[in-house]
Amino acid sequence: MEAKLLMGNEACAEGALAAGVKFYGGYPITPSNEIGEIMSSRLPEIGGKFIQMEDEIGSMACIIGASIAGLKSMTATSGPGFSLMQENIGFAAMAEVPCVVVNVMRAGPSTGMPTLPSQGDVMQARWGTHGDHPSIVLCPSSVKEVFTLTVTAVNFSEKYRMPVILLMDEVIGHLREKVTLPQPESIQVVDRPKPNCPPEWYKPFEDTKSGVPSMAAFGDGYRYHITGLTHDIMGFPTTKKDEVEPLMQRLFRKIRQAFDEIMLYETFLMEDATAAIIAYGCVSRSAKSAVLQLRKEGMKIGLLKLTTLWPFPRVAVESLPEKVQDLIVPEMNMGQIYREVVRVNKGRCRVRKVNRIDGEMITPQEIIFGIKRRERK
Amino acid sequence: MTAQHADVYDYLRHEKKFPLIWCPGCGNGIVMGSMIRAIDGLSIAKDKTAIVSGIGCSGRVSTYMDFNTLHTTHGRALAFATGLKFARPELTVMVAMGDGDALAIGGNHFIHAARRNIDLTAIVFNNSIYGMTGGQISPTTPLGSIASTARMGNIEPPFDIARLAEAAGAAFVARGSTYHVDELDELIALAIKKKGLSVLEVITPCPTIFGRYNRLGSAVSMLKQQRDSLISMHEAQGMTPEELQGKVRLGVLVDLDKPEYCAAYENLIERAQKA
């Protein structure tokens, strides 16, 4: 395919369409608007559906409804809208409804700086909705990766029957890069497991080897009940501990069993490194540049780029080479992933952070300065 | 067992989900029976029917009926139903909500579903109180009524559900009650048949909470109060507008021809694919 000049938000819409998304419900919010705008004109061309809802609560609700009707569904938003979606994201987790929520992170809290980037929603993406629940959160760092990770997000949501969050920052959402998109036939597309038993045998929330039950669409002849209450394997409300416990454990197990597939990360120049920068999103681009400059100065430093943020890819930190003594975690927040790195590092390396929360991207120089300043101490 | 009972029985998840969660004397079961008889009367297949409900006593209505049923979050039933219907327009989608559910926390979705005129049948179970949470005031609690959060009497004026729905653009607005059950069956059937957003307010008693707080007597006496205070659909037909002035009347209040959302979108798809 020929190369195109694409914006991150455009690549997100293209990725969603390539993954088979047929339903988009959203509400305008900067800096995610291009995604909804593109979907509003592209979806009807392929017989899909776009609806602009009255708020983000309704957006989240209607994509869940559409997914239950059998269509791959998504929405896109930013901080304030993401906050409004949280209750229904929890519903999708509890009722195991596949859907994708894109959050193009802007600077917060509250209205913050709508046009400027941040990485302040990392913890909200994990714990924004109430109660214990598993989550999958993916974070792209280039326009090409926005495309591929949007496909992955849709695939994971379908495969594991749960909401998947694509956590972009405003830099990546509005970045324009030359991209060669993969050939449509080379893109792997995953569809949710569907029942093939007679309707009277169907148990919509039964345990399976993968932990993921098959999902019938409303109208397909399998009449069943879906609720946000804790439920038994037939979907009916229950508070019996011998029915609640297996449900809740299964929701976690279906993800835990698949950690190897879900935890995505990349390493760069780590083979002989004694220090590593751990970064994600737009900051990983600055980090890569910092690694190259420090290497020129003779420092043995590498990069661990996190692609999956949740479940936190602890194996990526644990499997860093023995020689690595120093970890530097630059982030456009006050240290949301830093604390995770400290947690899984268990005191093996010295872990330091470089933070910015003023709406400006962290530069390679700032990362280098942060490393050197602390070297002198 | 009468023929009517047999119909209802066939549509219940009687092996799994009974007894009901509702208090003795609650009107919700009467509304559920009417919903079932309306669907049965229109010969709509169970597989092609979906019931979407919100949170509260009325929210449990979806659990008991053998259709495609979705029990959603508080106030959001119409928004979930919008996605479901829009994604699969061949389904008959009924939405069951309480008065607090539909008009307080879900008020935004209520007016916008009406404005959008998407083909849903929205049934508001209006018992004038938050029953499940213990009797707090709702947006339809009458002025002066006692509630657990209004021990001295409610000072907030209530919504008129029908007028609100009409002003927001609903194509069909009707009001029924749990005393006038035959009329309710008929009104629900009319609401389902209407292409567009149909709002049906059903006045239903909550003897356990609202009735006790306001000393309205037993469930039977609350039904008698409905009989005595409401003008039935058939009574209203013989009355002049002057006679109806200031009375709460049942029946179809609004019935307009307006473009329906899913149909309008199908037309948009055709245009997009030709372009």
Domain borders along chain A are 4-186, 265-376
Cβ contacts of A302 within 8 Å, gap of 6 or more: A267, A268, A269, A270, A271, A273, A275, A276, A277, A291, A324
Q: Please, are residues B230 and B219 in contact by the beta-carbon 8 Å criterion? A: no
- Whether residue A306 lies within 8 A of chain B, CB to CB, comes out as no
Residues constituting chain A: 377
Which pLDDT belongs to residue B5? 66
Query: If you count DSSP H runs as helices and E runs as strands, how many of each does chain B have, helices first?
Result: 13, 9
Cα separation of A280 and B11, whole Å? Answer: 53
Q: Which residues of A44-80 are buried (b: 16+ CB within 10 A; e: fewer)?
A: beeebbbbebbbbbbbbbbbbbbbbbbbbbbbbbbbb
Cα separation of A66 and A39, whole Å? Answer: 15
Find the Cα–Cα–Cα–Cα dihedral B136, B139, B143, B149, rounded to 10°: 20
Q: Which of A313-322, B7-16, B214-223 has the lowest mean pLDDT?
A: B7-16
Using 50, 70 and 90 to split pLDDT, how confident is the model at B141?
very high
Cα separation of B180 and B178, whole Å? Answer: 6
Mutate to test the interface with A, among B18, B39, B70 (most CBs of A within 10 A): B70
pLDDT surpassing 50 at residue B153: yes
Q: In order of start, what are the domains of chain B with their CATH numbers?
A: 3-274 (3.40.50.970)
Tokens 């559910």: give the residue.
Answer: B101
> Considering only CB atoms, which chain B residues are within 8 Å of A87?
73
Report how far Cα A282 is from the mean position of its chain's Cα atoms.
15
CATH of the domain spanning A4-186, picked from 3.40.50.2000, 3.40.50.12780, 3.40.50.970, 1.10.3720.10:
3.40.50.970
A44 with B108: Cβ contact below 8 A: no
Tokens 């023929």: give the residue.
Answer: B3
* Per-residue model confidence as pLDDT tens digits over B63-105: 999 999 999 999 999 999 999 999 999 999 999 999 999 999 9
Residue in A45, A47, A62 nearest the CB of B83: A62
Q: Please, are residues A311 and A262 in contact by the beta-carbon 8 Å criterion? A: yes
- Whether residue A198 lies within 8 A of chain B, CB to CB, comes out as no
Q: Which two tokens stand for residue A306?
A: 């996190």
Cα separation of B94 and B192, whole Å? Answer: 8
A69 with B16: Cβ contact below 8 A: no
Closest chain A residue to the Cα of B274, Cα to Cα: A45
Which pLDDT belongs to residue A353? 95
Closest chain B residue to the Cα of A230, Cα to Cα: B71
Q: Which residue ranges in chain A fall short of pLDDT 70?
A: 374-377
Report how far Cα A217 is from the mean position of its chain's Cα atoms.
25
- ipTM confidence score: 0.97
Q: Is the dihedral of CA A332, A337, A342, A345 positive or negative?
A: negative
Which pLDDT belongs to residue B1? 47
Give CATH for domain A265-376: 3.40.50.920
B46 with A223: Cβ contact below 8 A: yes
Percentage, residues of chain B above pLDDT 70: 98
Find the Cα–Cα–Cα–Cα dihedral A228, A162, A38, A11, rounded to 10°: 160
Q: Is the dihedral of CA A303, A176, A3, A26 positive or negative?
A: positive
Nearest CA to B154 among B142, B168, B166, B172? B142
Tokens 């209802």: give the residue.
Answer: B8
| Same fold for the pair A4-186 and A265-376 | yes
B91 with A69: Cβ contact below 8 A: yes
Give whole-number Cα distances, A232 to A204, A207, B47, in Å.
9, 11, 22
Cis peptide leading into residue A195 (ω within 30°)? no
> Considering only CB atoms, which chain B residues are within 8 Å of A224?
68-69
At residue A179, φ and ψ (nearest 5 deg) are -130, 140
Q: Please, are residues B135 and B209 in contact by the beta-carbon 8 Å criterion? A: yes
Using 50, 70 and 90 to split pLDDT, how confident is the model at B275?
confident
**Residue A260: how many CB atoms within 10 A of its CB?**
7
